[in-house]
Each structure stands twice: as C-alpha cells, then as structure tokens.
Amino acid sequence: MPEEVSADKKFIDLSGEMPPIEETETDEEILLSRDLTSAFVKAIKAFRFHPPDNPTLKGLKDQLLRKFQHFLNKYPSFVIQVGQYDLSYKGKILYENRDVKTSLAFSLYKDGLREIRFLKNLEEWEVQGIIDILKQSEQVNPSEGDMITMMWERDFVHIRYLAVDEYLEESMLLLPDTVEQFRKNLVLKPVAHLVEAGGSEGGADLNEILSKGTEELSPFVSDPSVYSFTAEEAEGLREDVEAEVNRSFTFNLTDILFEILFLEKEQVPYQDAVQSVVNVLDDFLMHGRFIQARDLLKRVRLLLETDGLQDWQVEKIRGIFLEAGEEARVARIGRILEREEIRLEEVNAYLLLLQKNSIQPLVNLLGDLKNSKARRVFCDALAEIGKDAIELFTPFMEDRRWFLVRNIVYILGRIGKEESLPYIQRAFNHEENRVRREAIQSLGLIGGQKTVGLLVRALTDNDVRIRCMAAINLGKMGKKAGLIPLIEIVQSKDFSKREPVEIRAFFNGIGMAGSNEVVSVLQDLLERKSWFGRGKIDETRIGAAHALAMIGTPDAVAVLEEGKNSKDEVLRDACARALRNPSS
C-alpha cells in the first residue's frame, strides 16, 4: 500500500533514497543521470500517490520528458541498471532503498527486470506509458501478467529492456560462505512451546555447542508429541508418498507399453496398447505434468521412425498425436492453467509437439485465457504448429473479440508467408487501433513486394502511430515503390504541420531506404525556410539532415558538410548534429 500523502504535501522526498554525490564528482554525465533518475523516481511515486486528474502530475511528466530530451541530446542513450535494492548508471548507484515495501528497485527486480534503456527521440506517449506500468509495480497480480509482459504489449519504439526468465532465475537467498557467517545469522530463540517454565534465561556458549563432536550430542527427546503431525500434515505427507509411488509406476508402465508397441504384431492387442498410451497422456495432463507429456509424445515420434512398421501400425501410432490435439484434451490444459501455477515454458514444450488438428481447439482456448503471458506462449506455439496451415486461422479473423483477432494477426506475421496477406489486409479495416498496429508489424515481418501497397495505404491511417510504423517498415524494406510515397508526403504542403514524432518517423523511413536518388529532394527540404510556423519547418529540416546522414553516400555527406558551414543557424546545427550521430 502506498503511503498517504497530505493535501499540502507539494513534493516527494527522496533524500533518503538518493545516495549523495561525492564532492569530487565532476563528470557531467553522472550528475545529469542522477538528476534524471531523481525526476524519474519522483514522477513514478507521484503517479502512485495522487489521483489521475491532479494537475501536479502533468507538470512532473512534462518536466521528466524535458530532462530525458536534454540528456539524450547529449548522450546516445540512458541505461538504468536494476539491482535488488538499487538503480545505477554506468556502475554508479543513483537510487537505493532496502525497504522491500517501498523500494522501486526491489519491485522491478522481483519481476525479472534487469535493465531499462531509453533511446534518442523518446516520445511523450512512451514516457507516459512507462510511468503507467511502473506505478503499478507494487500491485501487479502475477496471475494476470507482469511488468515484462505489460512492456512488451506497449510496443515501445524508443524504450528497450533486459529481463531474466523468472523460471531460470536463481534464488535471491544468499547462502553463508563461512562458519562465521552461519553463526552470525543463527536465530537462537527457542520455540515457545519447548521453553520450560522458570528456566534459566542464560544459555550455553554457542562456540562450545558448535565445537562438540557428534558423540556428545544429547539423545533424542523422548516426548512423542514433539514429533507428531497434524491431520493436515499427515494427509500432505501421504499424498506426497503416493505421488512418488504413482510416478515410478507410470514410468514403468510407459516402458512396458512401448515394448508392446515395438514387438506386438496383432492388431487388437496393439490397439489396446495405443489406447493405454493415450490414457497415460491424459493422466499427465490432468496433473499438469507437461514435461512428462512432452517426453511421452517424443517417444511416440521416435517410434514412428522405427524401420519395419506396417502401414496399419503407422496409422495407429499417428492416432496418438491426433488424440493429443482433440478439443477435450486441449480444454483440459486450459483448466489446469486456471487453477494451478504451471511453468509456461513446460506448457510450450508440450504444445510444440501437437499437430494441425489442435489448431482450432487451441485458438478457442486462446480466446478464453485471461493470463497475458499464457496467451503469448500459445501464440508462439500456434505460429510453429500452423506454419503450413494458414487456412485454419482465417475463420477467426471475424471474431468479435478484438484481442483474439490481434493474436491471429500476430501469429500470421510470425508464420511470415505471403499467403497471409489477404487476411492481414482485413485487419486494416478493424475498428480497434491495436489490431491495425499489429497488422503493420506483421507486414514488416513478412516483407516482400506485395506488402508495399498495404503499407503505403497505412500512411494515411487516422492513427499517428500506425502512420509512423508504416513509414518505418517501408524504409526497412528499401523498395523504391515504398520510397516514392514517403518522398511525396514529406514534400506536401501540410507535412510540416504534423507532430514532430511523425516527421521524424517519415524521414527515418527515407533514411533507412538508403537511396542516393533522393539526396537532391532532401537537400531542398533542408534548405527550405519559412517566416511563418518556423518551429515546424525546423523539425522538417532536422529530419531531412538526419535522413541524409543515414543514407551516408558521398553525395549525401557532401550536402551535410556544406550545410555545416552555413550562416543559417538552424541549418548549421542540424547538419553538424547529423554528422556527429548519423545512426541516432
């Protein structure tokens, strides 16, 4: 729970969480990074404390954006390293708080975040987005997703992050390195119910106890109540023992069944063995043992590769894979995910072995999943299972749930085949912006000449982010057919009136295409002046200089070198900056 803030509290006090800068510190980059970190943490805490309509929040956000822009104009990036209790920049700790209830660093660290990287041209919506995510860091429900997934879903352009897999991350519990450390951390207070009334408050010397040999140990306590179990403990122990016995029994049974499948030549007993394998698979799925289920299907696949199988045997063995993908078994996976904490990488390992007949049941389940991390795992698995079965996904493009349509577009993009284009084109008419944005991303992944027309069409979308994404993807393709529309738009009369973020995106797209043919056009835009609306014109000239630097041909560089010596201050600064940082 965040602390309560009184109505007259006008600032967030971070004096106890921002380590003081050494008096000898003169590195401007470190000083600026500390100032930026302070503004960053202060903004996040303010957004936690105050209601959304508080005017203070807008001021803090605008101030933070200005500090980011100031820093990123001087340096290529701002990288925050996330420690368990601290945030640092280039090895310098800039924030530290060891109270796990209030520490921003700890809340990021426990979700697996290890680094946040802010890049040049950071935009206002990205600053607001990262604040919206991190202000929830204390309240994120792990069953509904985590900060890593929330950041992935935001599609940030100028924010990158480094995270560790929560399933592979080592425990943060530190083991003692020496006996002295062990002794220091010992808790010597006796358990309350074992303390005798009127007993001495003193105790034996610890060093004396630890130094005694095993022959001097006291005999076991004779009181049986010390070792008795509660009813719940006894039941839990019984279930654990049963589980171990059943697991060994299942493994032995599985070995026997595969021996039968390898040796048996009669169809009736062979079919009985196949059905028993399916029953074992059901048992694994019912108990959420996806690694064992995966191993079982792998053994079935190896059996199919055995020489000497008759056609009827091959057909029956393949039937095991078909049974695994049936609606009822896929639905069982969904029920397990709802009620238990399952390692999703284990689920993914199993899903990847399913066949095409599982696609429709899996997509049906995808539409019902509430866990965003699980949806992502299903999407990636479906992209692999369905790489040769695009037609099985297309009926779901008409689903009324926009998030499922977005998932299908994501899957088609990862499959990466041109046959998907007619269906991705349908997404361009979807009323939900997030579906159309996913369509742009998928087109960029598919690439090829046929995608150019669709991306050109997206340049006139009502959503500014879609227009920006389309421009960038056209530039990445480097096709002349996509470059021409970009040039036409930046030369249009009203282009300079657009927002800076869109102006930069279009010129970035032109620069990525890397064509020497547009150098003269960019030179005209670079040298264009206007006495009215100068700020917008300046953005256009800066964008043109940046595009020339990205193209990097001798002709392009010559234009920038000439502009660097111009008497026009805006032109001179734009060219000099572009030459210094051609790839930023």
Q: Say yes or no to pLDDT of 12 above 50.
A: yes
Cβ atoms 46, 38 nearer than 8 A: no
Sign of CA dihedral 298, 299, 305, 310: negative
Q: Say yes or no to pLDDT of 127 above 50.
A: yes
Does 378 reside within a domain? yes
Quickly tell me which residue has 């792998």 as its tokens: 298
Torsion of CA 296, 301, 302, 306, to 10 degrees: 130
Residues 442 and 475 in one domain: no
Which residue segment(s) compose the domain that 407 sits in? 348-446
CATH number at residue 397: 1.25.10.10
Q: What are phi and psi of 434, to 5 degrees?
A: -65, -30
**Cβ contacts of residue 377 below 8 Å, gap of 6+?**
344, 345, 347, 348, 351
Q: Say yes or no to pLDDT of 177 above 50.
A: no
pTM of the full structure: 0.58
Distances (CA, A) of 207 to 153, 187, 216: 56, 14, 14
Length of the chain: 584
Cβ atoms 273, 257 nearer than 8 A: yes
What pLDDT is recorded for position 20? 62
Q: What are phi and psi of 79, to 5 degrees?
A: -115, 115
Residues 382 and 419 in one domain: yes
Residues 462 and 392 in one domain: no
Does residue 130 sit in helix, strand or coil?
A: helix
What pLDDT is recorded for position 250? 53
In this prediction, residue 196 has a pLDDT band, given cuts at 50, 70 and 90, of very low
What pLDDT is recorded for position 353? 94
Q: How far apart are CA 259 and CA 250, in angstroms?
A: 14
Q: How far apart are CA 81 and CA 574, in angstroms?
A: 32
Cβ atoms 256, 240 nearer than 8 A: no
Does 211 reside within a domain? no
CA 70 from centre of chain: 28
Residues 483 and 420 in one domain: no
Domain boundary residue among 134, 163, 192?
163
pLDDT tens digit sequence for 240-262: 555 544 454 455 678 888 888 88
Strands (DSSP E) contained in 68-125 are 77-82, 86-89, 92-96, 113-119
Does 14 reside within a domain? no
What pLDDT is recorded for position 5? 38
Cβ atoms 486, 471 nearer than 8 A: yes
What pLDDT is recorded for position 535? 52
Say which range, 229-243, 414-428, 429-443, has the weakest mean pLDDT: 229-243
Say which range, 103-117, 152-166, 371-385, 512-526, has the weakest mean pLDDT: 152-166
Per residue, what are the HEC states of 201-220? CCCCCHHHHHHCCHHHCCCC
What pLDDT is recorded for position 18? 65
Does 464 reside within a domain? yes
Per the model's pLDDT, the better-predicted residue between 517 and 138 turns out to be 517
**Average of pLDDT values for 3-12?**
41
Taking 3-state DSSP, the helix, strand and coil percentages for the chain, each rounded to the nearest 5, stand at 65, 5, 30
The structural domain count of the chain equals 4
Does 150 reside within a domain? yes
Residues 306 and 381 in one domain: no
Cβ atoms 296, 277 nearer than 8 A: yes
Residues 431 and 453 in one domain: no
In this prediction, residue 224 has a pLDDT band, given cuts at 50, 70 and 90, of very low
Pull the structure tokens for residue 77.
């990036």
Q: Say yes or no to pLDDT of 281 above 90.
A: yes
pLDDT tens digit sequence for 291-332: 999 999 999 998 888 888 899 999 999 999 999 999 999 998
What pLDDT is recorded for position 365? 94
Distances (CA, A) of 240 to 82, 234, 243, 244, 467: 39, 10, 5, 6, 58
What pLDDT is recorded for position 217? 44
What pLDDT is recorded for position 338? 79
Give Rg (Cα) of the chain. 32
Q: Say yes or no to pLDDT of 417 above 60.
A: yes
Per the model's pLDDT, the better-predicted residue between 223 and 337 turns out to be 337
pLDDT tens digit sequence for 43-80: 888 888 888 888 888 888 888 998 899 899 989 999 99
Does 478 reside within a domain? yes
**Cβ contacts of residue 119 below 8 Å, gap of 6+?**
72, 76, 77, 158, 159, 160
Cβ atoms 453, 482 nearer than 8 A: no
Does 465 reside within a domain? yes
What pLDDT is recorded for position 393? 95
Residues 464 and 584 in one domain: yes
Does 185 reside within a domain? no
Domain boundary residue among 395, 430, 446?
446
**Cβ contacts of residue 14 below 8 Å, gap of 6+?**
38, 41, 42, 45, 95
Q: Say yes or no to pLDDT of 93 above 80.
A: yes
In this prediction, residue 537 has a pLDDT band, given cuts at 50, 70 and 90, of low
**Average of pLDDT values for 198-208?**
49
Residues 484 and 500 in one domain: yes
Quickly tell me which residue has 């109505």 as its tokens: 7
Residues 63 and 119 in one domain: yes
Cβ atoms 57, 48 nearer than 8 A: no
What pLDDT is recorded for position 395? 93
Pull the structure tokens for residue 103.
């520490």
Cβ atoms 153, 372 nearer than 8 A: yes
Residues 359 and 386 in one domain: yes
Q: Name the maximum alpha-carbon separation found in the chain.
A: 98
Per the model's pLDDT, the better-predicted residue between 54 and 434 turns out to be 434
- DSSP calls for 205-270: -HHHHHHS-GGGPPPPP--GGGG---HHHHHHHHHHHHHHHHHHHHHHHHHHHHHHHHH---HHHH
Q: What are phi and psi of 448, to 5 degrees?
A: 90, 160
Pull the structure tokens for residue 442.
């998928």
User: Within 288-419, where are the H helices?
Assistant: 290-304, 311-324, 327-339, 344-351, 359-366, 372-385, 402-415
Residues 428 and 454 in one domain: no
pLDDT tens digit sequence for 368-399: 998 888 899 999 999 999 999 999 999 999 99
Q: How far apart are CA 16 and CA 238, in angstroms?
A: 51
**Average of pLDDT values for 391-419?**
94
Domain boundary residue among 141, 163, 185?
163
What pLDDT is recorded for position 248? 46
Torsion of CA 526, 528, 532, 535, to 10 degrees: 0
Kindly report the number of other CB atoms within 10 A of residue 106's CB atom. 22
Q: Say yes or no to pLDDT of 500 above 60.
A: yes
**Cβ contacts of residue 362 below 8 Å, gap of 6+?**
325, 330, 351, 354, 378, 381, 382, 385
**Cβ contacts of residue 370 below 8 Å, gap of 6+?**
144, 338
Per the model's pLDDT, the better-predicted residue between 263 and 402 turns out to be 402
Q: How far apart are CA 86 and CA 80, in angstroms?
A: 10
Residues 316 and 364 in one domain: no
What pLDDT is recorded for position 182? 47
**Average of pLDDT values for 398-407?**
94
What pLDDT is recorded for position 472? 92
CATH number at residue 580: 1.25.10
Across the chain, what does the average pLDDT equal? Answer: 80
What pLDDT is recorded for position 13? 53
